[in-house]
């Protein structure tokens, strides 16, 4: 069993014992998503696969937050935000903007001159440590900066 899955299982058992219904529901759902992913992959799941499932869960909840805020439902948005925070605790430390920017500049200096080429190389370096949207924004900023005459 992947160490991260074992940690999630232990936390689920702890939440059950303490009657924390919200946490039990969240962890049960995520563990179910992980088991489904394992079936899709037709192999034992790794921590990297679990991190991918967690990121998808966080992304889904962030989309819900946006919808709830547009629909004037701050109570439901707050619940989703709490779930994002709980799931985020299981992710490895994220890459800083400065670290991403340094990698983007290096790739651009190596000759990549469009968003797709830069994203392909930088995403591989930060897999599981940074979201695509954050990397994309930095890539666009740096490409705009390098295309302008000094």
Domain definitions of the chain by residue range:
3-88, 97-147
* Residues 114 and 139: beta-carbon distance below 8 Å: no
**Per-residue confidence (pLDDT) for residue 36, from 0 to 100:** 96
Average pLDDT over residues 76-82: 94
Residue 61, Cβ density class (10 Å: 0-12 exposed, 13-18 middle, ≥19 buried):
buried
Which value, to the nearest 10 degrees, does the dihedral of the CA atoms of residues 115, 142, 118, 87 take?
-90
Q: In 41-55, which positions are buried (b, 16+ CB within 10 angstroms) versus exposed (e)?
A: eeeebeeebbbbbbb
Closest CA to 112 of 123, 100, 121: 121
**Per-residue confidence (pLDDT) for residue 149, from 0 to 100:** 53
Higher pLDDT, 15 or 119: 15
pLDDT tops 50 at residue 150 = no
Average pLDDT over residues 104-117: 83
Closest CA to 130 of 150, 105, 101: 101
Average pLDDT over residues 123-136: 79
pLDDT band at 148 (very low <50, low <70, confident <90, very high): low
**Per-residue confidence (pLDDT) for residue 71, from 0 to 100:** 94
* Residues 51 and 92: beta-carbon distance below 8 Å: yes
| Superfamily (CATH) of domain 3-88 | Uncharacterised protein YqeY/AIM41, N-terminal domain (1.10.1510.10)
Higher pLDDT, 134 or 37: 37
């Amino acid at each position: 069993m992947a160490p991260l899955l074992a940690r999630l299982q232990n936390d689920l058992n702890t939440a059950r014992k303490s009657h924390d219904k919200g946490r039990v529901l969240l962890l049960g759902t995520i563990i179910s998503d992980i088991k489904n992913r394992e079936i899709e992959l037709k192999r034992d799941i790794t921590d990297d696969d679990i991190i991918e499932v967690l990121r998808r869960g966080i992304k889904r909840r962030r989309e819900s937050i946006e919808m709830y805020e547009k629909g004037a439902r701050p109570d439901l948005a707050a619940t989703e935000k709490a779930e994002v925070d709980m799931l985020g605790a299981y992710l490895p430390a994220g890459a800083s903007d400065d670290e991403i920017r340094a990698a983007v500049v290096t790739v651009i200096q190596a000759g990549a001159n469009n968003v797709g080429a830069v994203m392909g190389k930088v995403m591989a370096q930060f897999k599981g440590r940074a979201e695509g949207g954050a990397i994309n924004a930095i890539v666009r900023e740096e490409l705009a900066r390098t295309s302008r005459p000094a």
